[in-house]
Structure 1
Amino acid sequence: MSEASLSAKSSMDSLRGVSLAASEADFPDTLPPSMTGPMIWEGNELKNYVIDLVASDIDRIRAAVIHFKLLGLDRGSISTSTFPLPSELADKLSAISDIVHDGTGVAVLRGLDAARLNDEEAVIAFAGVCSFVCDLRATDSYANQTLSHVRDATHEKVPIWAKDIGLAGSKITAAMDFHSDRFSGDVLALHVRNDGGPGDGGEQYFASFWKIYNTLLETEPEVLETLAACDWPFELKQKDSAPYLELGPALFFSKGRPMIQLVKAPLLGSPRIARDPSMPALSDKQTHALAVVEDLARRFSAKLDRKQGDIQFVNNHSIMHARSAYGADNKRSDRHLLRMFLRDRKNAWDKPARWCNNFDDPFTPGRHQELPVIDTDPWRLISGRESHG
């Protein structure tokens, strides 16, 4: 679709998501036409995304875990060199990156539960396997945490010092609307340690934003303009001081690709972390855009086929994800996922120039990586920013 086919009030400024005062060199590519390819799907069209580990693969991964433990290194040292796998299995894992970046955007590696790993070994295996899919792991700039635990902490006694902090989004059981995790990493990786069991809830759903994008180009391009405008009021929490306002777009463009970075918690607050009253409210256009995107994501979504032991890989720039509520009010849920954000330098998408620092910050070289076996941060004692959920 050409620029002229957009609404009359469109401007190159709004489409590029930058202010007119910015230099021309900072401009991302202009609004691309309808997207094509396997990353555009809806509902049951997302299929054949499960990659099964065979018995010999599982044995090799188990051996690599033992090899790494015998090295006596810090878990942040896990890499393809310290977690050795045979070339055939390494190629099998590397091909997952191609699916995530140039295919459907979703892949699930299945069978790791058969290795019967304890908690420490599961963390090592998760990071080791992921290092063959993507060579970089993200860190939280506040805590240097690379791996976080997605679990139910709602039944734990809140310390006095934490009464006004609230639980992080990864520790609550409420349903989450469709979103992508803002400036967190190119690829979201989740390892299902415990799915909570039958009836526990927490079903996961994915939706292709490129399908949503194509639909909006035809039906309501003004929503794309609103998403690309540079005035979305994201509230960023800080560890030891008041939150601050960061204005920016929710939709970016680079090299012909739309990249969605729309997360609701910093815009609306969450069930356990209220939005600071000093923050500006969303405009009517922004509220409408959120509702339209959520409606289309629900319409086009696919429920994920999930089994215990799975490692899920999701393109965090083109695929939106959501989950249903889980657990019961009077009982703690056993549902437990390990989460990391990744980047594969071989396949990574180019980022818009003006926002490169935001996209690149989690991958700052030389930063120590914490891969905790036990969750130690349910009340966000260490990490202050809320970019998920």
Structure 2
Amino acid sequence: MAQEITHDLDALEARLGEVEGYLGLDATRATIATLEEESAEPGFWDDADGARATMERLARAKEDVQAFEEARALLGDARAARELGEELEDEESLAESEDLAARLEGALTELELSSWFTDELDLGDAIVTITPGQGGLEAQDWTEMLFKMYLKYADRRGWKVTVNDATPGEAIGLDRATFTVSGKNAYGMLKADQGVHRLVRISPTDAKKRRQTTFAGVEVLPVLPDDIEVQIDPSDLRIDVYHASGPGGQGVNTTDSAVRITHLPTGLVVTCQNERSQIQNKASAMKILASRLYEQEKAKREAELDELRGPKHEISFGNQIRNYVLYPFQLVKDTRTGIETGNVDSVLEDGDLDPFIIGFHRWATGQRSAERA
């Protein structure tokens, strides 16, 4: 029986051509040549910070070009395998062509993502904070479930996670979780999940096994690069230290290593307790505070709060961006895009969020294009 052909290689080739235009690869290649010349000049490393920034730009530019060339090679290999399979009626070659085409489709999606992220901050790291909303103690359990889901997602993407604060709830779950995600396009990707997340399930703590609806809020901030400075007056800060309540070893839990910083003019409060020393926790908390102040200032200057954070909503019914239903049926559905799956475990247990996150960015890009038209 002949191998069923499912991928249209002509359509994938058309997408590849569109991606080359989106990314402006001719200009990127010219940028690479310019940066390579700069890096070869005498005294280039005299300004170490500037040199590192240049080398990071060079690495990103080379990565985009390399990814495109690899995608083009996949297309050529897929065509060759399909032609061979059809000519010789060879099932193995046809199967190889399908495998290569599937890999090409995934590579094109990643390249398209890069073209959608136009803000420099989109390319960098993210600070994610999850807090419980309506639902009492069970909202704290939901907060921990989301925390674990994002850890799994980061692992799937090859991102590094640094937990800044994971405060245990009163009886179950977490009262708050803040963590930094480091990796390519981490902020650009994760900002799709900023908002209210709603869980519907049979209550695990209710003896009568009644259905419970709980909420948690996800905030996503960019980690500011070194060349963006936020001026913070030390006199505007109240800094409290206390015993850490989360994991971290005996040294953490028996010393006043946890730090809470309150920015008095704005009322912003940041905590960090997962490092072993008070100095490290303070440094991490200050980075998070700087990102939050930057976000506020940018929103004030540009009057475009939705670009970074989205409109602020109460963490309750009617404001959710995604529903996770475990009972009476199983479904995860994004309220903005309509994307859904009945495989709840793949999302919550395995962190398979790409269909939702990539789907949101594709939808949002289409919305922006329609508004400009």
TM-score norm. by structure 2 comes to 0.27
Which of the pair has more CA radius of gyration?
2
- Name the structure where helix makes up a greater proportion of residues: 2
